[in-house]
Structure 1
Amino acid sequence: MPRAPQTPAEYWDTYKPHRDEGPALRPDAAVFEWTQYPGHGPGAEFLGTPLPRRALDLGPAEGAEAAHLARQGVEVTGVDLSAVQVERARTWWQDTPRLDFVHADAVNYLTTTSTTFDAVYSVWGAVWFTDPDQLLPLIARCLAPGGVLAFAHAEPTGETYGPQRMRGKWLEGRERELTVLRWQYGPEAWTDLLKRHGFTDVDATVLPAPADEPVGTLLARAHASS
């Protein structure tokens, strides 16, 4: 029986284990997807027009969104907790200029970096899996004045907000399943959180799922104070 993950990093190391390393099976970076449904919702323009000069991707996993932006001339840094995901992304996108993947915890990276970004974004990534009261002030510190924070995660279900236990289908059959937390909030709660941490021009909403699909996508965008 496979060894069960002992840490959140190992949890994400097992994400999409069917993927082989190498360019043949890498995801398509032709478009920027914020939702789990291809072609549904906004694209890279959600980060602003023109696109930011320098962007930080928190939790890029396979790195498709980061690669898409880099191909558009954006200097992108992707920070991921999983060494496996970072190595896979580096292998897949090694031919893409202006793109760097860093193996680090998002909070640790934001605490220590001296780089200023025009945009910080997270597509079903670290913003969803990190305490916002810890993460949002660090993001604000690393954003240029007026810079944009944008993120997406699954539409919250039920009436319970805050940290929720998450189970991974890719862990089925293991002798013990490690649970991780994701922070589930609706648009109003995210708006309050972002404003409380100094962000302005907050726009948070739920994009309904396409017909016959069960779960929509929460989309949020805000700006650092000028």
Structure 2
Amino acid sequence: MPSAQNLPEYWGTYRRSDSGEGVCALAAAAFEWTQHPGHGPGVEFLGDPRTALELGSGEAREAAYLARRGVEVTALDFSAPQVERARDQWADVPGLALVEAEACAFLTGTEASYDAVYSLWGAVWYTDPDELVPLVARRLSPGGVFAFAQAEPIEGYYGPQAMYGNGVAGTKLTVLRWSYTPDMWADILKRNGLTAIDAFVLPGPVPEAVGTLMVRAQAPEA
């Protein structure tokens, strides 16, 4: 297993909207969880938060969508180019804070709590859940929602998965993604005190399409 990742360099040049992964081009006008436009749940999967934190927001389209609906949103990404693009795009959106920071470092340093913490093909996929999930659980308001989406796991290949983020013809750019079954994710979340766990794979719109892992859990009520 690689001892370190090159995530800042990777995300500094990688745009989800250009890659076909994660956020689609319609996301400014809709809240898209899956890689298939118009497929799957929308913003209702988050419930009705007053405050929200996005982990790995990229160009922050979904964060802007939430802010325009009156949610106070902090959109977090540790790629300076991604945050700069988001600030250029959404400068006129009230209630949207765009922050350049790594997810675990931010969650460790903040005293804020959130009604919803979410990730769309973002930091949850690229961060060791043994480090990230306990930090998320501590920053959720009572009854708050933790929700995320990423590609469905490949059967039999679980845990950290290494890839060359710059392709095999480029310079070595090591990236890890954490892949688990819905039941495995449910166990991780339960161990960290989260409840009302709903973890499943949403099949793609056609049989041969890659599905989307969808996960939602809640902090206990006070």
Using the size of structure 2 for normalisation, the TM-score is: 0.90
Q: Percent identity?
A: 59
| 1:94 counterpart = 2:91 | yes
Q: Which amino acid aligns with 1:58?
A: L
Aligned 8 A contact 2:54 2:63 in 1: yes
Shift of the 34–108 alpha-carbon distance from structure 1 to 2, 3 Å rule, reads same
| 1:214 counterpart = 2:209 | yes
Aligned 8 A contact 1:27 1:64 in 2: no
Shift of the 191–17 alpha-carbon distance from structure 1 to 2, 3 Å rule, reads closer
Q: Could you tell me how far 1:166 is from its partner in structure 2?
A: 2.7
Shift of the 210–159 alpha-carbon distance from structure 1 to 2, 3 Å rule, reads same
Report the 3-state secondary structure (helix = DSSP H, G, I; strand = E; otherwise coil) of the residue aligned with 1:91.
helix
Aligned 8 A contact 2:27 2:62 in 1: no
Using the size of structure 1 for normalisation, the TM-score is: 0.88
Aligned to 1:78: 75
Aligned 8 A contact 2:161 2:179 in 1: yes
Counterpart CA distance in 1 for 2:16 and 2:152 is: 25
Report the 3-state secondary structure (helix = DSSP H, G, I; strand = E; otherwise coil) of the residue aligned with 2:53.
strand
Give matches, 1:56-205, under 5 Å.
Answer: 56-168=53-165, 171-172=166-167, 175-205=170-200
Aligned 8 A contact 2:16 2:58 in 1: no
Shift of the 113–17 alpha-carbon distance from structure 1 to 2, 3 Å rule, reads closer
Counterpart CA distance in 2 for 1:11 and 1:200 is: 34
Q: Could you tell me how far 1:158 is from its partner in structure 2?
A: 2.6
Shift of the 199–160 alpha-carbon distance from structure 1 to 2, 3 Å rule, reads same
Q: Could you tell me how far 1:179 is from its partner in structure 2?
A: 1.6
Give matches, 1:3-14, under 5 Å.
Answer: 7-14=6-13
Counterpart CA distance in 1 for 2:212 and 2:81 is: 26
Q: Deviations over 1:70-102 (max 9, x none)?
A: 011000001111111011111111111100110
Shift of the 224–161 alpha-carbon distance from structure 1 to 2, 3 Å rule, reads same
Report the 3-state secondary structure (helix = DSSP H, G, I; strand = E; otherwise coil) of the residue aligned with 1:166.
strand
Aligned 8 A contact 2:15 2:58 in 1: no
Report the 3-state secondary structure (helix = DSSP H, G, I; strand = E; otherwise coil) of the residue aligned with 1:198.
coil
Unaligned runs of 5+ in 1: 1-5, 20-25
Give matches, 1:45-64, under 5 Å.
Answer: 45-48=44-47, 51-64=48-61
Report the 3-state secondary structure (helix = DSSP H, G, I; strand = E; otherwise coil) of the residue aligned with 2:75.
strand
Q: Could you tell me how far 1:18 is from its partner in structure 2?
A: 9.4
Runs of 4+ in 1 over 3 A off after TM superposition: 172-175
Q: Deviations over 1:100-143 (max 9, x none)?
A: 11000000000001111000000001111111111111001111
Q: Which amino acid aligns with 1:184?
A: S
Unaligned runs of 5+ in 2: 19-24
| 1:44 counterpart = 2:43 | yes
Shift of the 141–8 alpha-carbon distance from structure 1 to 2, 3 Å rule, reads same
